[in-house]
Structure 1
Amino acid sequence: MDTITLWELVALAGAATLVGFSKTAVSGANTVSLAIFAAVLPARESTGILLPLLIVGDMFAVRAYRRHADWATLVRLFPAVAAGVVAGTVFMLWADDAAVRTSIGVILLVMASITVWRRRTAGQQAREQKGQGEEEGRGEPAGEGRQRARLKAGSYGVLGGFTTMVANAGGPVMSMYLLSAGFRKLGFLGTSAWFFLIVNVAKVPFSVGLGLIDRHSLLLDAGLALCVVPGAFLGRAVVDRINQRLFERLVIAATVVGGLQLLLR
């Protein structure tokens, strides 16, 4: 903390504000925050500092969308997510800062690619689901059997658990899963809000055990948490008025730049 410059602190404050905004408006924006934290701070420690801020944002998201969660989906996901978190913890036990920085950079680029693919398929999926319900709730793809649904939940769950433990970057993975499962707007937001609140809180003991969260990191979090609050309120206020396509393009571009910066650093 003693080595953080004023401009770096400003960058962290902006990233913390974006955390709140991403939790109540556009989840993909969180990858930009991840890139900023990993660029300003040691990459390994940045994951532990960012985690409490994510939990603060999750609390606001749950407060806003708590009634719209699909608990059957959450119960189906959690065992696989737990396995992914354990795998990520094992990786973090031996990974040094350079390995974590490289991993975060690769994960960011992969997540950006997933988001681009998701956008290209979302239009086709929306046309297929048109007239099948309102924006709240969900709908399973036609013909998807229980075995295939369990396999999909397991694969996405393990990947989401690993990426969220190593890089706090499980958002795009889970977004793609929820969209592919036919979730509409409010159902998507409510299920995602509860999912990340529960998973991020469960990650705290692992992060403490790895030394990623301590009294020094919490002191920095105490100041940055004040920036999460206005971001969360701003996201809630503008969620229905966002030009989603333009914003996602900016997020993807910033994520790619951040990922490349970490890989070339």
Structure 2
Amino acid sequence: MIELSAWAWVALAIAAVTIGISKTALPGGSTLAIALFATVLPARTSTAAMLLLLIVGDVFALIAYRRHAHWPTLLRLAPAVIAGLIAGFAFLAFAGDGIVRRAIGVILLVMIAVTLWRRWRKGRADAEAAPAGGILLSGVYGTLGGFTTMVANAGGPVMSMYFLATRTPVQVFLGTSAWFFAIINLVKLPFLAGLGLFEGPVLLMDALLAPLVVVGALVGLRVARRIPQQLFERIVIVLTVAGSLYLLF
């Protein structure tokens, strides 16, 4: 087992609960968990460890929202996502741990910038016509989503931005996201296994943290409509920025 301090375990426990909540109540909100995992663990190890916990959360997301997916959207995204996954795999295979660690920090900061831009744009976009989800839009977001999810499990904010840009209704947003990440995370398993990232200590750690993902998912399902989302997003943004800067410097 990787030697971790008590505070490191607390950080991982918070991250695990956050993963569960993000899967059932706040799509894309797992950026805080990404920052915590990458801060506590070696960068490549954090990507593998988080993937298994994300798959646990995917189960609950599918239970809640599986009937609302829009499959034509998923099929339109598929080619670009596959290209992004392959690019991300090549990056992980050849980049050193320090480079991956900084890359995660940069990716997270970019995702936060996108999120802030989206919040600023939201009020103005309400008055505009809904843009079409064309090939160019799906190609850009699909490729970036595939790359970021392979390298840092950080595809959530990218795809949330895509679904918002195409004015996807809320229930369809949640259902399509649930299927998208459930499929993508399963596809990523053999890639990361091929890099030898699922070692015994990682599996044991995930076994200890998985129940907390379940707790978070159940909490998310129960209070999804009661959580003051704006406050929660602000907390996630602040903590993620802090974690990203720590990874960079």
Q: Residues 150-229 of structure 1: matches in 2 within 5 Å?
A: 150-229=135-214
Deviation at 1:161, TM superposition (A): 0.3
Amino acid in the other structure paired with 2:73: T
In 1, the alpha carbon distance for the partners of 2:30 and 2:127 equals 28
Residues of 2 paired with 1:21 and 1:2: CA distance? Answer: 26
Which segments of 5 or more consecutive residues in structure 1 lack a partner in the other structure? 130-140
Offset at residue 128 of structure 1 (A): 4.4
- Structure 1 residue aligned with 2:12: 12
Cα offsets for 1:226-250 (capped at 9, x unmatched)? 1100100111111112222222111
1:230 corresponds to 2:204: no
Indicate whether 1:241 and 2:226 are aligned.
yes
Pairwise CA distance, 1:6: 2.2
**Pairs aligned (count):** 249
The answer to whether residue 244 in structure 2 is matched with residue 263 in structure 1 is no
Q: Helix, strand or coil: the match of 2:29?
A: helix
Given that residues 29 and 156 in structure 2 are in contact (C-alpha distance below 8 angstroms), is that contact kept between their aligned partners in structure 1? no
Superposition pairs for residues 70-219 of structure 1, below 5 Å?
70-128=70-128, 141=130, 144=132, 149-219=134-204
| Contact 1:28-1:251 within 8 A present in 2 as well | no
Q: Matched residues in 2 for 1:16 and 1:240: separation?
A: 21
DSSP 3-state at the match of 1:212: coil
- What residue in structure 1 maps to residue 44 of structure 2? 44
Rounded to whole Å, the distance in 1 between the matches of 2:115 and 2:245 is: 17
For residue 22 of structure 1, what is the amino acid of its counterpart? S
Partner residue, 1:35: 35
| Structure 2 unmatched runs, 5+ | none
* Residue 123 of structure 1: how far off its partner (Å): 2.3
Q: What amino acid maps onto 1:50 in structure 2?
A: M
Q: In structure 2, the residue corresponding to 1:183 is in which secondary structure?
A: coil
Is contact 1:15-1:33 (8 Å) kept?
yes
The equivalent of 1:54 in structure 2 is 54
* CA–CA separation in structure 2 for the residues paired with 1:126 and 1:64: 28
The separation in 1 between residues aligned to 2:198 and 2:189, in whole angstroms, is: 8
Please say if residues 28 and 248 of structure 1, whose CA atoms lie closer than 8 Å, have aligned partners that are also in contact: no
* Kept in 1: contact 2:84–2:146 (CA 8 A): yes
Taking structure 2 as the reference length, the TM-score comes to 0.96
Give 3-state SS (helix, strand or coil) of 1:29's partner: coil
Backbone CA RMSD of aligned residues: 1.3
Contact 2:29 2:157 in 1 (8 A): no
Identity of aligned residues (%): 56
Paired with 2:55 and 2:186, the residues of 1 have a C-alpha distance of 7
Q: Secondary structure at the match of 2:197?
A: coil
